[in-house]
């Protein structure tokens, strides 16, 4: 059986973000497992505009080149660990936007969440 390929998604892009620190911690712990490989997937590397396509990429091809690159990268993984802050009682807008730009790429794949913030990021992952 081949190893699972898991993305650890850094879900914030602010200049003063903290998310890369818990993401690196998760990567260190996950890398100890012999049954999977892990890779950091940083939303800073995919500066997509707010979702403005005619429909989900499940129904119509995405026109934005960065979003197409994002979809291709997301499709490489078997599962995802989202490391996310809590912004205004929710997930960061940049994460919601990134989720909206991909649909078939997420289908039937496992996901887990690591939240952080003043109340542990609980409202971002609910």
46: domain CATH number is 3.40.50.360
- The pLDDT of residue 19 is above 80: yes
Q: Give the domain extent around 31.
A: 4-125
Q: What count of Cα atoms within 13 Å lies in the side-chain half-sphere of residue 51?
A: 17
The H-or-E segment that residue 125 falls in is helix 122-125
**Average pLDDT of the residues in 39-55:** 96
- The pLDDT of residue 120 is above 80: no
Structural domain count, the chain: 1
- The pLDDT of residue 93 is above 80: yes
Average predicted confidence (pLDDT) for the chain = 93
pTM above 0.85, yes or no: yes
- The pLDDT of residue 1 is above 80: no
DSSP letter at 53? -
Torsion of CA 82, 85, 91, 96, to 10 degrees: -50
Separation of CA 111 from chain center? 9
Q: Please tell me the distance from the alpha carbon of residue 69 to that of residue 77, in angstroms, as a whole number.
A: 14
């Amino acid at each position: 059986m081949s190893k699972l390929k898991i993305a650890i998604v850094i879900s914030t892009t602010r200049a003063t973000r903290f998310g890369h620190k818990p993401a690196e911690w998760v990567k260190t712990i996950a890398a100890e497992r012999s049954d999977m490989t892990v890779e950091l997937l940083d939303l800073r590397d995919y500066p997509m505009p707010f979702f403005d396509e005619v429909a989900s990429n499940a129904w119509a091809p995405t026109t934005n080149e960065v979003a197409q690159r994002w979809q291709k990268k997301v499709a490489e993984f078997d599962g995802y660990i989202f490391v996310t802050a809590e912004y205004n009682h929710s997930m960061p807008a940049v994460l919601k936007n990134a989720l909206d730009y991909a649909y078939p790429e997420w289908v039937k794949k496992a996901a887990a969440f690591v939240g952080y913030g003043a109340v542990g990021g609980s409202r971002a992952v609910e």
